[in-house]
Amino acid sequence: DTEVTQTPKHLVMGMTNKKSLKCEQHMGHRAMYWYKQKAKKPPELMFVYSYEKLSINESVPSRFSPECPNSSLLNLHLHALQPEDSALYLCASSQVTGGNTIYFGEGSWLTVV
Amino acid sequence: EDQVTQSPEALRLQEGESSSLNCSYTVSGLRGLFWYRQDPGKGPEFLFTLYSAGEEKEKERLKATLTKKESFLHITAPKPEDSATYLCAVQGGGATNKLIFGTGTLLAVQP
C-alpha cells in the first residue's frame, strides 16, 4: 500500500500566525521530502530528510522549519509567512537509495492572508 | 545541467483517439525516469519508473518507453477519465534523490 497521508488538506493563516503541516507514511521509507507547488507549475523541492536527518535544504527561507520526529512522521512548521507562500505543499517519501520511486501525498493547500 | 522538457504543453483528444506525450531529458548518470499523473488540486500519482534505454512498461491504456534521450507516454484509446496533467521527472547521479521535473502536459479527453 503506497500511501502518504497529509493533514490538514486546507489551511488558511494570517501572516502573524504559527501553524504546522503534518505528514505520515507507513511504507518503511527512510527518505522524506517537502515540495512546494504553485498553480500550473511542477513541484519544487524544499527539504529532504534521510534517516531522520536533514540532508538537503534548497535555500528555503527560515519562516519554513521542517522537523522529522521519527521515521514515519514529517512536519513543516510555518511562521510569519507571506501571501506569495500560498501554494500546494506536498510531502513525499521513498527508499533512501537513489533510483527508487518517490511517492507523494495528496498535499496541503495553504492560503496566507 | 540536468533538464527535462515535455511536449506538447497541452493536448486535446477525442475519446478513443490514441496519441503520445514526449519527455526529452539531459541528465548526468540517469538513475531513473518517472511518470506521474496529477489531477487538479491533488498530489502527483505515480505511474511508471524506467531505468534503462529500451525499457517499456504498461498499465491499462498507458505505455511508457525510454531511449537515451527521451521517453514517450503512449495513450491508447483514451477515455475522459484519463484527463489530467502528466508529469515526467528524472533523477540523476549525485548524492541526492532530487527529482528534476518537466512542466507537464495537460491532457483533455473529450467524450
The answer to whether residue B59 neighbours chain A at the CB level (below 8 Å) is no
pLDDT per residue as tens digits for the range A33-92: 999 999 999 999 999 999 999 999 999 999 999 999 999 999 999 999 999 999 999 999
A2 contact residues in B (CB cutoff 8 A): 46
Q: Give the pLDDT confidence of B37-69 residue by residue, as tens digits.
A: 999 999 999 999 999 999 999 999 999 999 999
Q: Which residue from A43, A48, A88 is facing B101, i.e. has the nearest CB?
A: A43
| Residue A47 phi, psi (nearest 5) | -140, 150
Beta-bridged to residue B74, according to DSSP, are B20, B63
Cβ atoms of residues A109 and A88 within 8 Å: yes
Judge: B32–A101 Cβ closer than 8 Å, yes or no.
Answer: yes
Give SS3 for A1.
coil
- Beta carbons of A106 and B43 less than 8 Å apart: yes
**A27 in B contact zone (CB under 8 Å):** no
